[in-house]
Structure 1
Amino acid sequence: MQQGFFRVTLVAAALALVACGEAPQDLTGQGVKQDGAPYAGVGSSQYAQTGWKVGDKASWEQQLKARAQYGQNDYTRMGTQP
């Protein structure tokens, strides 16, 4: 009985120590390209909204506000108010 308890305790201690040895998971040094600013565009203006100027943050924010107000607000799209 004493030996069984000792073995179980030894295995539990070994598992606890193995769990502490995990390697850090970070992106530095792996050649990962970070995203640029969303208002910088993708280089092609083929799919760009009219009125938006590539690289202009204020214009980008204005387009997002307009899209949220007129394109995604069901009350203004249907012409009914709550």
Structure 2
Amino acid sequence: MKRPGLVFAGAALAASCLAACGEKPQTNAQGVKHDAVPWSGTGTQENAGTVFTAPGWKVGDKTAWQQQLKTRAQNGQNEYNKEN
């Protein structure tokens, strides 16, 4: 004699396994999207002052952008520097 809970769990498992077969593929039909370079900024004007722009940064300044990434990685994400 089987327990009703075990039968119910088996039916739920089978239903969840079959539900995965109905998913649509998540491929990118348009292909690769070529964005602008990361240091081109979010605004169209120099020193636009958006919330995403660091103060004093100029649109298109690649070296300043790279330096800011290094600084963020060293100061903001380095747990050793945070703790000591």
**TM-score, normalized by length of structure 1?**
0.52
AA matched with 1:75: Y
3-state SS in 1 of match to 2:81: helix
- Write the mapping of 1:1-80 to structure 2, written as runs, cut at 5 A: 27=31, 34-43=34-43, 44-47=48-51, 48-79=53-84
What is the rounded CA distance, in whole Å, between the counterparts of 1:49 and 1:73 in structure 2?
A: 20
Computing the radius of gyration over CA atoms, which structure comes out larger, 1 or 2? 1
Which 5+ residue runs of structure 1 have no aligned equivalent?
A: 1-24
**TM-score, normalized by length of structure 2?**
0.51
Between the aligned residues of both structures, percent identity stands at 49
Kept in 2, the 8 Å contact 1:40–1:55? The answer is: yes
AA matched with 1:46: T
Q: Aligned-pair RMSD on alpha carbons?
A: 2.2
Which 5+ residue runs of structure 2 have no aligned equivalent?
A: 1-28
Count of residue correspondences = 51
AA matched with 1:60: W
Change in 2 beyond 3 A, CA 1:70/1:51: farther
Kept in 1, the 8 Å contact 2:49–2:55? The answer is: no
Q: Which has the higher contact order (CA 8 A, sep 6+)?
A: 2
Q: What displacement does 1:50 show?
A: 2.2
Q: Which runs of 4+ in 1 moved over 3 A?
A: none
